[in-house]
Structure 1
Amino acid sequence: MASSEEEMTTTAAAKSVLRRELLAARRLLSEEDAREAAAVLARRAGELPELAEARTVAAYVSVGREPGTRVLLEELHARGVRVLLPVLLSDNDLDWAAYEGMDGLVRAGRGLLEPSGPRLGVEAVREAETVLLPGLAVDGRGMRLGRGGGSYDRVLERLGRGAAQEARAHARVAATAEARAPEGGARLVVLLYENEVVAEVPAEPHDHPVHAVVTPGGVRRFGQ
């Protein structure tokens, strides 16, 4: 029987293979195809209650052939939604700053675009009701495949701790008075192309499922 360490090594290797395949497929997309998909994604995502009703959303600026977020960012900003964008730190963790329009973005390392405004701290993501996660794939369980850098693993761990603290606080209130059930923390949403909804994403113990995936073809939700 394989040890836990061997299983984790095998899973990590399977993730790497899947990443390479999906990134290769993205590189084959034309600029026009990517632009058209981004427009459809913005419309579908903008109609999600998780985004349509949110006051604060954590998102990211798409680069290269990633499923486009720029149109969606502009639409959220125009509606008065507070949009938080990541700022990559030297240790691969993510700080956050408010989105103030495309003119307020600056080039950063790894080809990223980041907001130039005041940094709000790594815990600022916990203020978001919905978090738009970058990804390469998702499966029928809602398990997401990221790029493997670990930045969003830290974000998701931070969100999980925040949700647990809120649940404990709710339990204390409910013990003495009737209270409304908590929403269960931030909603996690990922934007992908159709081919990136796959049969299975190799998962490790630290991986978190998302609540919904948006593709040009529609929205799929996952029970949680």
Structure 2
Amino acid sequence: MALARLCFLLGRLCSRRLKLSQAWVYFEEAPGALEGSFGDLFLVVAVYANLASIYWKQKNREKCTQVVPKAVALLLGTPGHICSTEVEGELLQLVLRWAVGGQSLQAEARACFLLARHHVHLKQPEEALPVLERLLLLHRDSGAPEAAWLSDCHLLLADIGSCKCLPHLVLSCVKVASLRAQDSLAGSLRSVNLVLQNVLQPHSLPTTSGERWPP
């Protein structure tokens, strides 16, 4: 596991310096070091996502055919994973195009949700809003019953409202999220934090030195 982590970090370092051939070597070594272990699932996701990105940039079709489907499956299927790097964002954009082309509404909805969370995490509300709106439209048009992820969806909207200094939007989204399916403890704490950050504060009283209060 230590060798896999070291290979991943060296691969990321080379990738940032645009030394793609060196990055390729390190990222290819990491899966071998893992020996099929999923003990650190987030590390496995990151390794395959970065490896797929390298193959895609170098237009290595043979390697892409082998690795990209694995990376996509890991990204879409890993619960709780936040795609926080540019590499994962690029891969999700690719997944979204494939899902739209293949008319897979479930894959499109999952890709939209992960992309929205990715942009919110990077403080990019303008990029997050269109995919989040598309996600809500997909749910509306599907005619499906209330989904468990709708609460997270509205909390993401609340995050965007918080970034754009729209406290009324934040409080409305949190209220809608609280009326959805039962939330986890983490989700409840997140809602409370959003409310505390955006609740309207009363105007502060003047505190100029020497100013006297009326009796």
Query: Is TM > 0.5 for Structure 1 vs Structure 2?
Result: no
More strand by share: 1
Q: Which structure exhibits the higher relative contact order, with contacts defined as CA atoms closer than 8 Å and separated by 6 or more residues? A: 1
Query: What's the TM-score once normalised by structure 2's chain length?
Result: 0.29
Structure having the larger proportion of residues in helix:
2
Larger-gyration structure (1/2): 2
